[in-house]
Structure 1
Amino acid sequence: MASGPGKQGSKVVSRSAAGGSGGPGGPGGGNPGGAPVVPLASPLMGKKKKPFLGMPAPLGYVPGLGRGATGFTTRSDIGPARDANDPVDDRHAPPGKRTVGDQMKKNEEDEEDLNDTNYDEFNGYAGSLFSSGPYEKDDEEADAIYAALDKRMDERRKERRELREKDEIEKYRMERPKIQQQFSDLKRKLAEVSEDDWLSIPEVGDARNKRQRNPRHEKLTPMPDSFFSKHLQSGDKNTSVDPLKGLGGLNTPYPGGVTPGTGELDMRKIGQARNTLMDMRLSQVSDSVSGQTVVDPKGYLTDLNSMIPTHGGDISDIKKARLLLKSVRETNPHHPPAWIASARLEEVTGKLQVARNLIIKGTEMCPKSEDMWLEAARLQPGDTAKAVVAQAVRHLPGSVRIYIRAAELETDVRAKKRVLRKALENVSKSVRLWKTAVELEDPEDARIMLSRAVECCPTSVELWLALARLETYENARRVLNKARENIPTDRHIWITAAKLEEANGNTQMVEKIIDRAITSLGANGDAEECDKAGSVATCQAVIRAVIGIAIEEEDCKHTWMEDSESCVSHGALECARAIYAHALQVFPSKKSVWLRAAYFEKNHGTRESLEALLQRAVAHCPKAEVLWLMGAKSKWLANDVPAARSILALAFQANPNSEEIWLAAVKLESENNEYERARRLLAKARSSAPTARVFMKSVKLEWVLGNIEAAHELCAEALRHYEDFPKLWMMKGQIEEQSENMDKARDAYNQGLKKCLHAMSLWVLLSRLEERVGQLTRARAILEKARLKNPQTPELWLESVRLEFRAGLKNISHTLMAKALQECPNSGILWAEAVFLEARPQRKTKSVDALKKCEHDPHVLLAVAKLFWSERKITKAREWFLRTVKIEPDLGDAWALFYKFELQHGTEEQQEEVRKRCENAEPRHGELWCAESKHVLNWQKKIGEILSQVAGKFKNTF
């Protein structure tokens, strides 16, 4: 086929592009067909030069790369050398590295995999910076510290968070109560429903939707269009289908639209019903006249608020409850709880008038229901409620509750009496009505009414006892005898008869009545009631009658002591006194029983009762030194020194060589400034009963009186006999220190330590002596040696810590305290000191640790009280001070600190109470307390004076 002009033009262009001659005379320029050749115009002829021509190719450009060319690189392209800062020429990079897919894959590899399966709880995601590093012990310790801090912070916020959550839940429950909470009272009344009422409850209708109600074989099957077209072509004018036949002979019944009596489905009525339903739905959202919406956009929210019930419940729940209760009322109109529940539902939703109408209708349906009338009276206002109650009385003339309600509605006392008397005419057997009526009467009228009441209600103990209280003595006896005949098994009548006899001075009859009561009734426990009522003789008679019942002989003493303590804790002091009296009759030679009874009289009785008891005690137990001493001290505190001397003289006769009695006699004389008598007594004691304590008291008397030489001689004589008694060495060294003889004092302490290696006070005194003279290193060495000789001794560790602290070496004191707590982990004095060695922010944590180790140690409790005091938590500090002195009343430092606390933050009454309690406790221990009470200048001061001095020594440096 010959080629056309287009073919020729193509050939010419190809040649030109190949570099051949394109002229007419050139080779290949001719046309074989002789057709004229049209020369092509040059692209540069008559046109502007393109701006990109002659410019260097962009970086990375490869000519022909898009058409499949790969290119190549020569040495001339690279050059002999390149500078390090020159951009990299990636024009000839391998094609495989520059594909788009590889670049995306590389980006995906650079991104971190955040999948849950790639997450580790400790290392995080697999791409973590430190996930590949080793997990060393330092990392583990750091993680444990952080975990402990997190746990501590969470515990600090736990209580506040739990309280906030609890408040939020309660607030939410208050605002949105559940439906079962609203009907809880009705649920409780369901217990009163009888079996017949349960059986008469109607069956609830099927509340399921249409799909759930219809079984599978009753499902609606739509008819195909072919069915209608077939009947239209056949000219059949029937508009209904037999549901029993269905389509093709299948049983396909239709649930709705069936014509009654024929069993056929009316298609026309189905269409009409559908149109009617559509019209109703459209009319709800549009106006039939103008077509505009009937919803007011401005008052829409206001209308919604008005629909919300006042009690804040769910609207749908209220509607459901209202429908259910309506169903119950209609199915069983004679069921009172349904009417009451309906009325209360309307009441809580704010529809009070509807509730009143419902309850009135309920009274008409259930006129014999007491609860129905009471509910109606509650819902109605004052006058209307009275009318309702009057109507209720006509229907239920024997209802006590309705009469009581009628009396409550009356405001006048006369009207109340009139209502109650009318009620008693109809219901004379009601104890409640009689009690209510008697309470409104005067004593004389009440006595007349009670005489009638006991005739109508002879089994009521309360009415008999009330009548006996209002009668005279003789009439009351007759009333109680008659009551006992009617109610022979009640114990209150016997007890009241005994109280009556005691109140009228006939105490001999009390024993007989109680004995007869025990015989007829058995064991009884009314002694405490008699004690509280002030009937002491009756109480004691009851105790004597019942104290030995059902108790083994060997357990009597233990059981009676426990019973007495129980009576004291309940405030029944006469019961406890009666128990002690009976126990002393049974065990007259038991020293422990006499001592318990004496302590009871000392704490809860009078001085006369205590002295009388002690006289009887020493007569039965003459060898009990403590009983003699208690009697002498009681006389001495009453400033009856001659009586105290006579008691001690009798005690000497009963116990001729008793050290305690000798020392008590010496103290009595020395306290009353009879120093010569005291010296003679001590000299006589040293000759007849030469004990270490007698020598020590002899030295102490001469020392405090200023006879230093005599004190030296007596001390030397005492040490010849009792060189292993450390207090003698301590006194010798302190006497030398007072005389400024430091070398002799040092020698005394060193000699004492050779004989008494385990005397901690001697080690402490020697260390303080060296510290006082400026020998800190020697003092430290003495304490170290003491700790080696006496390991696990808290007092020595405490003195070492304080020595370094007083020297200003706080770091060393902290180190020593840590070692001390390791060696003595359960020492209260060490933990108490450790709390205040810490800085203020760490003291609370340290106190918690101390309480964990020593929960009931008085020193730790005292430290916690001081800590609260330093934080100005006054109430808590007072509580901890009270706890301390209750656990250990013998700790004088606790009383002194407590007194100083009350001086700063308490009233005068509180200060005086602490002083009195301290004087009664008579503390003897405590570091500062012993230092003040045993000082030679304070030997005659009372406990109250020592308390003030020790309180003044404390400084608020904690």
Structure 2
Amino acid sequence: MATKKRNKAFMGMSAPLGYVPGLGRGATGFTTRSDIGPARETGDISDERHAPPNKRRDEENDDDDTDLNDSNFDEEFGYGGSLFKNDLYEKDDEEADKIYESIDKRMDEKRKERRERRYQEEKEKYRQERPKLQQLFSDVKRKLEDVTEEEWMSLPEVGDARNKRQRNPREEKYTPVPDSVLAKAVSANEQTTTIDSREQRYGGFATPVGMSTPSEEIEMVKIGQARSTLINVKLKQVADSVTGQTVVDPKGYLTDLQSMLPSYGGDINDVKKARLLLKSVRETNPSHPPAWIASARLEEVVGKLQAARNLIMRGTDHCPKNEDIWLEAARLMPLDLARGVVTHAVRQLPQSVKIWVKAADLEQEPKAKKQVLRHALEQVPNSVRLWKAAVELEDEEDARIMLSRAVECCPTSVDLWLALARLETYENARRVLNKAREHIPTDRQIWIMATKLEEANGNNAMVDRLIERALASLTANMVEINREHWIKDAVECEKAGSVHTAQALIRNVIGISVEEEDQLATWMEDAQSCQNEGAYECARVIYAHARKCHPTQTSLWLDAADFEKKHGTREQYEELLTAAVANCPKAEVLWLMLAKSQWLAGNIPLSRATLSAGFKANPNSEEIWLAAVKLESENNEYDKAISLLKNARRNAPTARVYMKSVRLNWCLNDISDAKTLLDEALKSYGDFPKLWMMKGQILAQQGPASFEAAREAYMEGIKRCPTSIPLWLLLVQLELDRGQLIKARANLEKARLRNPATPELWLASVRLEVTAGNVQQAKVMLARGMQECPTAGTLWAEAIFMENRPQRKSKSVDALKKCEHDPYVLTAVSKLFWSERRIDKAREWFTRAIKLETDIGDCWAAFYKFELMHGTEQQQADVKKKCISFEPRHGELWCRIAKDVRNWKLKAGEILELCAAQISVPE
């Protein structure tokens, strides 16, 4: 079958523009006018759509055809030339090039110093990381000068380097030879002429397999014994060689291994750098002691104690006149060698006190110490430190003799004079102190010692005179009198038992360098400082001096009275208050404090007389009236109390006087008189909330029939006193007692609207919902209250125990973050530990709570309840005693019990017991 011939794709098509046949094979074409076409204008666009291929290739590959020959290279433009290579190089270009060249040269000179410095730093860093061999082994080469000729001759030969065994020698291994091999070798060399009976028995010389002759057995036993003996001898020699160097120490072997462990945990590269640096310092200046000490301590730190010892001993050779390097060498050496080091040090520096003291410390026996110190005093007789060290080792008689010599050698040492005065008799001590004052007229301690001496011998009259003479003498010798130093000396004297000396010092220096307008503040600060240090007599003298200078300052008398109440006796307290009311008769509080102290002491007539005198000095004083009423009522003198209140209402009527009158009649169950007084008081003092509270409580006490009247009294009181929170709470409690839960909730809502951000109202709302059984609603109310009052400790304390047991701890942490110093929160945390039976923790937190705030009775009651259950009788008594002394007056439960008219005569201790009985154990 014939195949169809295919035509080429370009057959029958016109040639492209500019095509020359055979041009690629070297043919030469020609062009006619018909090929060029008609003539064109100059501005016509040429038709270059089909440019010659060679031209395009040349334009596209212009960069690739760069001539890289050396002859084509130009220093300025490189191989490829420049955009301006065909331009002329004129004179302006030459001047510009010179300017640029000068600028480059100047910039290079500026950077030269920095560049060279950086090069040197990099070079030094490189040499530190990769030192030369000559640097690595320079110290080893230096040690070659100490090598003796015998050591040099005993060096082993290098051997043939071509021999692998000689180049890499290994330790020889000795394997014990079995006894059978030794026996076989012995038998092979022996010649026997006898025939064993067994050989005859078996008909020949062949011994049965597995059997040995008796002679062989004997020889093997002997060989084993000899080998054991030889091994024991060698072990003993190794364990204790002739040279004394112990190689094997079975007992201390593991200990030595442990000590060989590296103890330095830092970077070893830092150690190497430090070694190189210190080595350079030593080589540069071998007589510089700190370099040797630092090098030794570096080796000690990294665990190379022997190297440290070697270095420090070399340092002593180079710096034999420096005591620090000898002391460091003695510290690094063992005890026996340290003594030798100190001996050499003493020879080099016989006047060094530190070296002598170190030598004495190195001795173990007191006799040897005394001997060393006496030799030291022969060399350095004017050293106070050596005399003190020597005296401390002697008994009293020898010490006195040595001190007599010491003060002759060191007449300017106050300590030696004082020590000698302590050991002498009274007359001799006075003479010693007089000599000391002659030699040292500018030291106050000698004068203070003289006053102590006089006081110790009963001459208290001389104490003040000596202090006055001391101040005059020191001032004449141009010594500045620093009152702070003298007060500090007075405190130390009181602690030492010299009370009269301390008081005399305070009296004579307390007013020095104090301006008149700053006296009171400065003296109060000094008195408080003395109290903090336990110097109560000094503080008492300061208060007395201040009262003498400012007798009419009531605040000063109050501070002094508080001090005497805490640190003095009752007699001192009452004596001070008696003087106080004489100097400040218009200060009512001082009269009341004196009368109360006398009343508590059981002196009722004297207390009445004090109040009477106070009333004369302060006519119609409300505080004194009420104090007198309380005194009479507490002592069952009710008629006198009622008479006093009647006179007070007539002469000095106040809301408090009416309130006390109503309460007294209420407590005495005289309800009609109480109501009459209330109505009379409310006409004049309707804005006093406690009167409305008492009216409502009296009416509520009469039973359900009077609930409505009580409610109206509370409502009227709220209208007159809308900000009285106790009034709102009494109204809510009245509604709850009547069973009106909705009205109680509504009243609480009104109270919160009128008194926003009040924690007591939010707490009452929460408890109301809990009482109603709406626990979830109570939590919502609590959250709202904590949002409005974020720092209310009562709400946080309630929130802790409203959580489930697993969440209470985290809640307590949040509470402490918000209210770190709130007594209610601390008490709640204490109860939390109590519920977890962590007794010690609970006691600690209860103590913190009552220290933070001593006026909240609920905290005291919770603490007392805790001690009743988990404490001892002594701990219970301590809590009760502290509570009675602080007399708390606040707290929800405490006020409810204390203000109950049935408990109006109870003391703080009895109220504490009632409150503790009503506190439930936390679960």
TM-score normalised to the size of structure 2?
A: 0.66
What secondary structure does 1:785 align onto?
helix
1:390-448, Cα deviation, whole Å (9 max, x unpaired): 45444443332333233333333333323322221221111111111111222232222
The CA distance in 2 between the partners of 1:657 and 1:289, in whole Å, is: 118
- Stretch of structure 1 that moved more, 349-358 or 872-881: 349-358
The CA distance in 2 between the partners of 1:829 and 1:759, in whole Å, is: 19
- Matched with 1:951 is 916
What secondary structure does 1:629 align onto?
helix
- Matched with 1:632 is 595
- Stretch of structure 1 that moved more, 365-374 or 942-951: 365-374
The CA distance in 2 between the partners of 1:845 and 1:320, in whole Å, is: 53
Q: In 2, are the aligned partners of 1:421 and 1:437 still within 8 Å (CA)?
A: yes
- Matched with 1:737 is 700
The CA distance in 2 between the partners of 1:357 and 1:792, in whole Å, is: 79
- Matched with 2:408 is 455
1:707 to 1:281, Cα distance in 2 relative to 1, 3 A: farther
The alpha-carbon deviation at position 463 of structure 1 amounts to 1.2
The CA distance in 2 between the partners of 1:848 and 1:326, in whole Å, is: 59
- Matched with 2:193 is none
- Matched with 2:505 is 542
- Matched with 1:594 is 557
Question: Which of 450, 455, 472 is 2:425 aligned to?
Answer: 472
The CA distance in 1 between the partners of 2:273 and 2:921, in whole Å, is: 71
Residue 620, structure 1, aligned to residue 571, structure 2? no
The CA distance in 2 between the partners of 1:347 and 1:592, in whole Å, is: 65
What secondary structure does 2:394 align onto?
coil
Equivalent residues in 2 for 1:350-429 (5 A)? 368-371=321-324, 373-374=326-327, 377-378=330-331, 385-386=338-339, 389-429=342-382
Equivalent residues in 2 for 1:96-245 (5 A)? none
The alpha-carbon deviation at position 594 of structure 1 amounts to 0.9
What secondary structure does 1:548 align onto?
coil
The alpha-carbon deviation at position 855 of structure 1 amounts to 4.2
Question: Which of 706, 720, 724 is 1:755 aligned to?
Answer: 720
The alpha-carbon deviation at position 610 of structure 1 amounts to 0.6
Question: Which of 302, 306, 309 is 2:260 aligned to?
Answer: 309
1:280 to 1:666, Cα distance in 2 relative to 1, 3 A: farther
What secondary structure does 1:745 align onto?
helix
- Matched with 1:684 is 647
The CA distance in 2 between the partners of 1:306 and 1:440, in whole Å, is: 42
The alpha-carbon deviation at position 616 of structure 1 amounts to 0.4
Amino acid at match of 2:382: K
1:89-117, Cα deviation, whole Å (9 max, x unpaired): xxxxxxxxxxxxxxxxxxxxxxxxxxxxx
Identity between Structure 1 and Structure 2 (%): 62
1:721 to 1:325, Cα distance in 2 relative to 1, 3 A: closer
Question: Which of 662, 680, 687 is 1:724 aligned to?
Answer: 687
Q: In 2, are the aligned partners of 1:343 and 1:356 still within 8 Å (CA)?
A: yes
Residue 523, structure 1, aligned to residue 482, structure 2? yes
1:949 to 1:306, Cα distance in 2 relative to 1, 3 A: closer
Amino acid at match of 2:503: Q
- Matched with 2:850 is 885
1:187-241, Cα deviation, whole Å (9 max, x unpaired): xxxxxxxxxxxxxxxx999778699999xxxxxxxxxxxxxxxxxxxxxxxxxxx
1:774 to 1:581, Cα distance in 2 relative to 1, 3 A: same
- Matched with 1:552 is 515
Amino acid at match of 2:657: V
Question: Which of 564, 568, 590 is 2:527 aligned to?
Answer: 564
The CA distance in 1 between the partners of 2:613 and 2:131, in whole Å, is: 109
1:513 to 1:348, Cα distance in 2 relative to 1, 3 A: same
Q: Which runs of 5+ in 1 are unaligned?
A: 1-10, 12-202, 215-274, 291-301
What secondary structure does 1:432 align onto?
helix
Length, aligned pairs only: 686
1:565-609, Cα deviation, whole Å (9 max, x unpaired): 232223222222222111111111111111111111111111111
The alpha-carbon deviation at position 643 of structure 1 amounts to 1.7
TM-score normalised to the size of structure 1?
A: 0.64
Question: Which of 753, 766, 772 is 1:788 aligned to?
Answer: 753
What secondary structure does 1:411 align onto?
coil
1:845-890, Cα deviation, whole Å (9 max, x unpaired): 4444444544444333433443444445555544443443333221
The alpha-carbon deviation at position 475 of structure 1 amounts to 2.9
What secondary structure does 2:350 align onto?
coil
1:217-272, Cα deviation, whole Å (9 max, x unpaired): xxxxxxxxxxxxxxxxxxxxxxxxxxxxxxxxxxxxxxxxxxxxxxxxxxxxxxxx
The alpha-carbon deviation at position 800 of structure 1 amounts to 1.5
- Matched with 1:446 is 399
The alpha-carbon deviation at position 342 of structure 1 amounts to 7.3
Residue 488, structure 1, aligned to residue 447, structure 2? no
Residue 916, structure 1, aligned to residue 891, structure 2? no
- Stretch of structure 1 that moved more, 416-425 or 824-833: 824-833
The CA distance in 1 between the partners of 2:816 and 2:302, in whole Å, is: 56
The CA distance in 2 between the partners of 1:891 and 1:382, in whole Å, is: 66
The CA distance in 2 between the partners of 1:693 and 1:926, in whole Å, is: 22
Equivalent residues in 2 for 1:324-343 (5 A)? none
The alpha-carbon deviation at position 772 of structure 1 amounts to 1.5
1:901 to 1:416, Cα distance in 2 relative to 1, 3 A: same
The alpha-carbon deviation at position 348 of structure 1 amounts to 7.2
Question: Which of 894, 899, 907 is 2:864 aligned to?
Answer: 899
The CA distance in 2 between the partners of 1:790 and 1:504, in whole Å, is: 72
The CA distance in 2 between the partners of 1:306 and 1:616, in whole Å, is: 81
Amino acid at match of 1:900: K
Q: In 1, are the aligned partners of 2:417 and 2:432 still within 8 Å (CA)?
A: yes
- Matched with 1:655 is 618
What secondary structure does 1:534 align onto?
coil
Q: In 2, are the aligned partners of 1:729 and 1:749 still within 8 Å (CA)?
A: yes
- Matched with 1:101 is none
1:687 to 1:426, Cα distance in 2 relative to 1, 3 A: same
The CA distance in 1 between the partners of 2:720 and 2:752, in whole Å, is: 17
What secondary structure does 1:666 align onto?
helix
Question: Which of 534, 539, 545 is 1:582 aligned to?
Answer: 545
- Matched with 1:669 is 632
- Matched with 2:466 is 513
- Stretch of structure 1 that moved more, 379-388 or 396-405: 379-388
Q: In 1, are the aligned partners of 2:894 and 2:915 still within 8 Å (CA)?
A: yes
1:815-842, Cα deviation, whole Å (9 max, x unpaired): 2223323433443333333333333444
How much is the aligned-residue C-alpha RMSD, in angstroms? 4.0
- Matched with 1:48 is none
What secondary structure does 2:377 align onto?
helix
1:658 to 1:351, Cα distance in 2 relative to 1, 3 A: closer
Residue 707, structure 1, aligned to residue 670, structure 2? yes
- Matched with 2:789 is 824
Q: Which runs of 5+ in 2 are unaligned?
A: 2-123, 136-157, 174-252
Amino acid at match of 2:625: W
Amino acid at match of 2:483: N
The CA distance in 2 between the partners of 1:805 and 1:747, in whole Å, is: 27
The alpha-carbon deviation at position 788 of structure 1 amounts to 3.0
The alpha-carbon deviation at position 451 of structure 1 amounts to 1.8
The CA distance in 2 between the partners of 1:905 and 1:498, in whole Å, is: 54
- Matched with 1:938 is 903
Q: In 2, are the aligned partners of 1:310 and 1:349 still within 8 Å (CA)?
A: no
The CA distance in 1 between the partners of 2:273 and 2:163, in whole Å, is: 24
Q: In 2, are the aligned partners of 1:864 and 1:880 still within 8 Å (CA)?
A: yes
The alpha-carbon deviation at position 615 of structure 1 amounts to 0.6
What secondary structure does 2:483 align onto?
coil
- Matched with 2:247 is none
- Stretch of structure 1 that moved more, 529-538 or 623-632: 529-538
What secondary structure does 2:751 align onto?
helix
1:708 to 1:307, Cα distance in 2 relative to 1, 3 A: closer
The CA distance in 2 between the partners of 1:383 and 1:309, in whole Å, is: 23
1:707-729, Cα deviation, whole Å (9 max, x unpaired): 34443444344334433332222
Q: In 2, are the aligned partners of 1:518 and 1:524 still within 8 Å (CA)?
A: no
Q: In 2, are the aligned partners of 1:309 and 1:349 still within 8 Å (CA)?
A: no
